């Protein structure tokens, strides 16, 4: 059966053919006109095409703290470059240059060779970066003897506070080959490689401009034809308070660990510390192999942001969640009593309290104040760990906080189902015990701990931790302010919350409280200590450093009536939370209280 | 047809080689393009194997997939040059809008093939119009004005071939002309439309309307391309000898302006030959559509030809300064994986329809 297509299609297709032929003929006529008729004209134009676009780099955005104090700036430096195509006798020019500035001819040759593979014709090749004023002066003065040699002004990134806040600021470096491919951008451009420099690279970098110049046959500039000005990058105002940041860095000192301070009313991060830190000034001009070797093989991982990328067993700070889960779900009442004899026995296993001779009989309040393990073993079992995990998750534990810093880790809050699925093993009552005091599988990062204590302080509001307060467009002065990002509200029984808060106040202010070292003369503080055992943990760092001492935790907020700051401190292998971490939190809170009211910008 | 396509791709490959040649030898882009062409040829033969009716049955599925990809690109895609059009699939990037245009043509072909009527009035166009508008809006949002325009034109041609009545066609043309006129002539409308464009789009349109106004600024691409094409004269400057392209005066020379490289290095002989090859390919495609054994085949083939023709003509038109610089690739010749593979897929479908024109009994 011959069907064929409908008649109308058969009639329309020749029209399409006619249309195609017509356009092809028009294009051929155009080509003939351009190439045959006016060919000579365009050929001459191409031979004398002496118009070159020169890229003008945009100045990168400046970074300030919340009060407008400088954190990252650009300083003017000068580079010396050579355009080999513009040099009649390259060898002679190189020798002449080497005799003027501090560089050997061999080094110049090496610089030219390494640039050769990425350089387009007539593009300058950098010979020496950040030359001294004297070198700039002599090179400019002897300009006539140095055809093809250029002195380029450059903006160089400078981090005046060096290691302070290095992990959230990050650093810039030569754009990697992979980024180049992805973004179709200019070669040799510097881009953010870590921290906020990377997160907000597109805001900070601005848009390149172009200068059109006409050059003569020797490649020398004859005339400026026009300029398309670069658009500078946007300035960032962070939520960081540099005074609080410095206080936190100094309080942590040489110990490894992380400190996060946050405004509990909106999630603005006031300080974020990870030690050891590094000097970001090593990077903008390309880090030397020696420095890179030192940084990347350092067993204490200075490039690692412990505040968001490291997760630790929470130890007793997790008891806040257990207490809240118990009270809020109604599984326990504030008056339920447990007698601690220094340990609890289940089957053949014995689970010890940190206080060997036991706490005697106590109820919730004193159990929090003295951080009694046996009380929380008992209550953890009564509440059930899946119920506790539900509360932990509602406080954002076990998932990333969403702070805009690279590679945040989610940590872990286990459940029965999780253990069966992942470890293919049943959930034992012993798992409930040890996880109820923040050991076992529980893992969280300092930023998560800070988010948790913020939610306790503000009555159950979960904010996404934020580092960027506002951006300013340098061209028109327009300021864009970012409002807090409210992630969710934890619906809590107010009496339960009050009960836990009273306990946290007691930790710092009552006799026998584990956190008395956080007591301050300037304000009232509520907090919780944590001492996390490392030994049972499969921790890589342990192997590397051979350290097995406990991690010290302290989470706190202040003032207790109307909290304006929440702090989380983690000191790796720091021993007892009360002895090591609590004083650090106190110093951060006190620095904040000193500056609060005088400098807080809104 | 397949042979012609491969021939064009190989000429294009040499041009890419020349356009990206460095003093260190051929660039990695050349090897990648080689790989894309090889992959494209495989795809082309794969597209011949199943009966095109089977492919027609999947037209709507393909359409839905491409819509999903377009939505995805808005959510997770990454931006390049002020627009968000790329989707990363592991190490390779991919432009869903390239796939979408083929999907729309196939979906339209299937829609009309299943409609037993001979000709259509305006009221019959509601459904096909929706079919076109969804991807069109998504592409516009990226924003990719060039591809959106291509999509609209290709779809219109398919609808006309399918049997849109002449009266209806006139009405559409008049409405379109009125709209266009109001955009240009009525200041408030003009302002609104103009402000909705990205700055680089505004510049390109200005440059097209008045190329001499600013040859170093916005019209730089078009101006340099014209110099490159014209300076090739009759015989060209020779392979690797084009000063415009070798000295990097010409931007985007391995992608959108690959034809300028061919023109500069091989002159009118080269451009005439290329134009002839494309014309032959398109006319063979139309012949395929004419001989197709049913409406589905005819419309699929017609749609593919329309789409290819638009790309070829707009791209060449842009390099010689008779069409605005809208950033569309030259099929088979420009560097770029998505375009190469999609085009080979389209050619494979054409061959498929051609091969099955006599297979009347099963």
CATH number for A242-294+308-595: choose from 3.40.710.10, 3.20.20.140, 3.30.365.10, 3.30.10.20: 3.40.710.10
* Domain spans of chain A, in order of start: 52-238, 242-294+308-595
Confidence (pLDDT) at A556: 96
Residue B298 structure tokens: 């005819």
How far, in Å, CA of B102 to CA of A13, rounded? Answer: 19
Condensed to tens digits (0 to 9), the pLDDT of residues A441-500 reads: 999 999 999 999 999 999 999 999 999 999 999 888 899 998 889 998 998 899 999 999
How far, in Å, CA of A83 to CA of A90, rounded? Answer: 10
Confidence (pLDDT) at A427: 93
Inter-chain contact B80–A183, Cβ cutoff 8 Å?
A: yes
Question: What Å distances lie between residue A601 and A239, A467, A485, A523, A590, CA to CA?
Answer: 10, 15, 19, 21, 18
B57 CB within 8 Å of a chain A CB: no
Residue A236 structure tokens: 């960032």
B210 CB within 8 Å of a chain A CB: no
Q: Which residue of B has its CA nearest to A85?
A: B247
Exposed / middle / buried, residue A89 (Cβ in 10 Å: 0-12, 13-18, 19+): exposed
Query: What do you get for the CA distance between the two ends of chain A, in Å?
Result: 82
Confidence (pLDDT) at A122: 65
Inter-chain contact A20–B220, Cβ cutoff 8 Å?
A: no
How far, in Å, CA of A594 to CA of A582, rounded? Answer: 18
Interface A–B counts its CB contacts (< 8 A) at 162
Across residues B276-284, what is the average pLDDT?
Answer: 95
Query: What sign results for the dihedral spanned by CA atoms A553, A169, A79, A51?
Result: positive
Residues of B in contact with A30 (CB under 8 A): 320-322
Residues of B in contact with A34 (CB under 8 A): 226, 229-230, 320
Which of the four pLDDT bands, split at 50, 70 and 90, describes residue A510? Answer: very high
Across residues A77-82, what is the average pLDDT?
Answer: 88
Q: Look at residue A500 and give its three-state secondary structure.
A: helix
Confidence (pLDDT) at A545: 46
| Residues forming a β-bridge with A317 | none
DSSP, res A444: B
Closest to B11 measured CA to CA, from B208, B259, B193, B234? B259
| Residue A234: partners with Cβ closer than 8 Å, 6 or more residues away | A61, A203, A204, A206, A471, A472, A473, A474
How far, in Å, CA of A526 to CA of A504, rounded? Answer: 5
Confidence (pLDDT) at A544: 36
Q: Is the per-residue pLDDT at A307 higher than 90?
A: yes
Confidence (pLDDT) at A598: 47
Q: Please give the CATH topology (third level) of the domain spanning A52-238.
A: Penicillin-binding protein 2a (Domain 2) (3.90.1310)
Which of the four pLDDT bands, split at 50, 70 and 90, describes residue A117? Answer: low
How far, in Å, CA of A566 to CA of A556, rounded? Answer: 6
Please give the mean pLDDT across all residues of chain B: 82
Q: Which residue of B has its CA nearest to A224?
A: B216
Residues of B in contact with A116 (CB under 8 A): 23-24
Which of the four pLDDT bands, split at 50, 70 and 90, describes residue A230? Answer: confident
From B37's Cα to the closest Cα of chain A, the distance in A is 20
Mean pLDDT is lowest, of A378-387, B26-35, B189-198, B304-313, for B189-198
Residue A513 structure tokens: 């409280």
Which of the four pLDDT bands, split at 50, 70 and 90, describes residue A125? Answer: confident
Q: Which residue of B has its CA nearest to A11?
A: B161
Confidence (pLDDT) at B17: 85
Among the residues of B186-294, which ranges form H helices? Answer: 187-195, 199-209, 220-231, 243-246, 258-291
> Active-site residue A99, yes or no?
no
The winner for highest mean pLDDT among A561-565, A593-597, B231-235, B246-250 is A561-565
Residues of A in contact with B217 (CB under 8 A): 212, 226, 228
Query: What sign results for the dihedral spanned by CA atoms B102, B104, B109, B111?
Result: positive
E-assigned strands of A510-550?
A: 526-532
Residues of B in contact with A182 (CB under 8 A): 78, 88, 93
Q: Give backbone dihedrals phi and psi of A316, rounded to 5 degrees, phi first.
A: -70, -10
Query: What do you get for the CA distance between the two ends of chain B, in Å?
Result: 25
Confidence (pLDDT) at A554: 97
Mean pLDDT is lowest, of A55-59, A112-116, A135-139, A344-348, for A112-116
Residues of A in contact with B227 (CB under 8 A): 42, 45-46, 49
| Residues forming a β-bridge with A192 | A172
Nearest to B229 among A16, A35, A40 (CB): A35
Confidence (pLDDT) at A460: 92
Nearest to B217 among A13, A38, A226 (CB): A226
Condensed to tens digits (0 to 9), the pLDDT of residues B195-251 reads: 777 766 676 666 666 655 555 555 667 777 888 888 888 888 888 777 666 555 566
Inter-chain contact B229–A49, Cβ cutoff 8 Å?
A: no
Q: Which of A81, A310, A316, A436 is catalytic?
A: A316
Q: Are A63 and B299 in contact (CB under 8 A)?
A: no
Q: Is the per-residue pLDDT at B80 higher than 50?
A: no
B78 CB within 8 Å of a chain A CB: yes
Inter-chain contact A34–B290, Cβ cutoff 8 Å?
A: no
């Amino acid at each position: 059966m011959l069907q064929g297509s409908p008649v109308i299609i058969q009639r329309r297709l020749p029209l399409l053919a006619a249309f195609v032929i017509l356009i092809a003929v028009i294009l051929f006529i155009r080509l003939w006109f351009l190439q045959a008729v006016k060919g000579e004209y365009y050929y001459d134009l191409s031979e004398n095409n002496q118009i070159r676009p020169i890229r003008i780099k945009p100045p990168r955005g400046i970074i300030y703290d919340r009060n407008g104090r400088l954190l990252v700036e650009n300083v003017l430096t000068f580079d010396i470059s050579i355009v080999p195509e513009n040099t009649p006798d390259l060898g002679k020019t190189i020798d002449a240059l080497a005799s003027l500035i501090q560089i050997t001819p061999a080094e110049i040759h090496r610089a030219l060779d390494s640039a050769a593979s990425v350089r387009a014709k007539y593009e300058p090749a950098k010979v020496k970066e950040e030359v001294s004023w004297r070198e700039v002066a002599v090179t400019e003065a002897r300009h006539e003897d140095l055809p093809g040699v250029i002195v380029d002004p450059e903006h160089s990134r400078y981090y005046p506070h060096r290691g302070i806040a290095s992990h959230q600021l990050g650093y810039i470096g030569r754009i990697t080959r992979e980024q180049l491919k992805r973004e179709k951008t200019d070669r040799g451009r510097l881009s953010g490689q870590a921290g906020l420099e990377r997160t907000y690279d597109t805001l900070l970098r601005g848009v390149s401009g172009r200068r059109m110049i006409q050059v003569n046959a020797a490649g020398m500039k004859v005339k400026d034809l026009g300029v398309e000005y670069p658009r500078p990058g946007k300035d960032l105002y962070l939520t960081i308070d540099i005074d609080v940041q410095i206080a936190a860095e100094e309080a942590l000192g040489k110990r490894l660990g992380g400190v996060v301070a946050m405004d509990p009313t909106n999630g603005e991060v006031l300080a974020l510390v990870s030690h050891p830190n590094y000097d970001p000034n090593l990077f903008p001009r390309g880090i030397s192999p020696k420095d890179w070797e030192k940084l990347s093989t350092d067993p204490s991982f200075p490039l690692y942001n412990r505040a968001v990328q490291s997760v630790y067993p929470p130890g007793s700070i997790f008891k806040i969640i257990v207490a809240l889960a118990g009270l809020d779900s109604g599984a326990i009442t504030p008056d339920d009593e447990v007698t601690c004899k220094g340990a609890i026995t289940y089957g053949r296993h014995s689970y010890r309290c940190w206080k060997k001779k036991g706490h005697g009989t106590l109820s919730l309040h004193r159990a929090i104040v003295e951080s009694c393990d046996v009380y929380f073993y008992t209550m953890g079992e009564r509440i059930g760990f899946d119920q506790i995990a539900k509360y932990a998750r509602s406080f954002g534990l076990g998932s990333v906080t969403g702070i805009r810093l690279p590679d945040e880790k989610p940590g872990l809050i286990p459940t029965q189902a999780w253990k069966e699925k992942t470890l293919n093993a049943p959930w034992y009552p012993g798992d409930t015990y040890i996880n109820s005091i923040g050991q076992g599988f529980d893992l969280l990062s300092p930023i998560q701990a800070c988010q948790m204590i913020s939610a306790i302080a503000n009555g159950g509001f979960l904010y996404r931790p934020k580092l960027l307060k506002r951006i300013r467009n340098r061209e028109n002065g327009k300021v864009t302010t970012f409002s807090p990002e409210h992630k969710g509200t934890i619906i809590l029984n107010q009496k339960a919350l009050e009960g836990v808060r009273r306990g946290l106040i007691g930790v710092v202010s009552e006799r026998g409280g584990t956190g008395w070292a956080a007591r301050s003369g300037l304000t009232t503080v509520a907090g919780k200590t944590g001492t996390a055992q490392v030994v049972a943990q499969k921790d890589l760092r342990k192997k590397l450093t051979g350290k097995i001492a406990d991690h010290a935790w302290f989470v706190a907020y202040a003032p207790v009536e109307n909290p304006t700051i929440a702090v989380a401190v983690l000191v790796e292998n720091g021993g007892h939370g009360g002895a090591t971490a609590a004083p650090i939190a106190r110093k951060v809170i006190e620095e904040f209280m000193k500056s609060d009211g005088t400098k807080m910008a809104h | 047809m397949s042979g012609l396509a491969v021939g064009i791709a190989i000429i294009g490959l040499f041009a890419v080689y020349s356009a990206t040649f460095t003093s260190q030898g051929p660039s990695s882009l050349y090897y990648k393009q080689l790989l894309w062409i090889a992959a494209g040829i495989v795809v082309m033969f794969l597209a011949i194997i199943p009966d095109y009716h089977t492919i027609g049955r999947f037209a709507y599925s393909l359409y839905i997939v491409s819509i999903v990809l377009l939505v995805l690109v808005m959510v997770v895609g990454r931006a390049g040059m002020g627009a968000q059009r790329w989707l990363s699939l592991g190490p390779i990037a991919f432009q869903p809008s390239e796939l979408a245009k083929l999907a729309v043509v196939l979906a339209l072909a299937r829609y009309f093939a299943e409609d037993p009527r001979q000709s259509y009035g305006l009221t019959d166009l509601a459904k096909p119009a929706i079919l076109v508008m969804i991807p069109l809006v998504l592409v516009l949002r990226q924003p990719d004005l060039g591809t959106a325009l291509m999509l609209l034109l290709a779809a219109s041609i398919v609808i006309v071939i399918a049997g849109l009545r002449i009266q209806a066609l006139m009405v559409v043309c008049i409405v379109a002309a009125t709209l266009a006129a109001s955009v240009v002539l009525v200041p408030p409308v003009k302002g609104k439309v103009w402000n909705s464009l990205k700055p680089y789009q505004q510049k390109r349109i200005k440059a097209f309307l008045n190329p001499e106004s600013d040859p170093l600024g916005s019209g730089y691409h078009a101006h340099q391309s014209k110099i490159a094409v014209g300076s090739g004269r009759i015989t060209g400057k020779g392979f690797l000898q084009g000063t415009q392209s070798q000295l990097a005066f010409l931007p985007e020379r391995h992608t959108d302006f690959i034809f300028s490289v061919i023109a500069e290095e091989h002159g009118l002989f080269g451009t005439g030959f290329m134009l002839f090859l494309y014309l032959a390919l398109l006319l063979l495609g139309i012949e395929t559509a004419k001989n197709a054994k049913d409406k589905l085949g005819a419309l699929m083939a017609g749609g593919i030809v329309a789409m290819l023709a638009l790309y070829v003509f707009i791209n060449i038109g842009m390099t010689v300064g008779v069409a605005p610089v809208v950033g569309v690739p030259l099929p088979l010749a420009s560097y770029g994986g998505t375009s190469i593979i999609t085009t080979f897929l389209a050619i494979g479908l054409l061959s498929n329809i051609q091969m099955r024109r006599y297979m009347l009994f099963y």
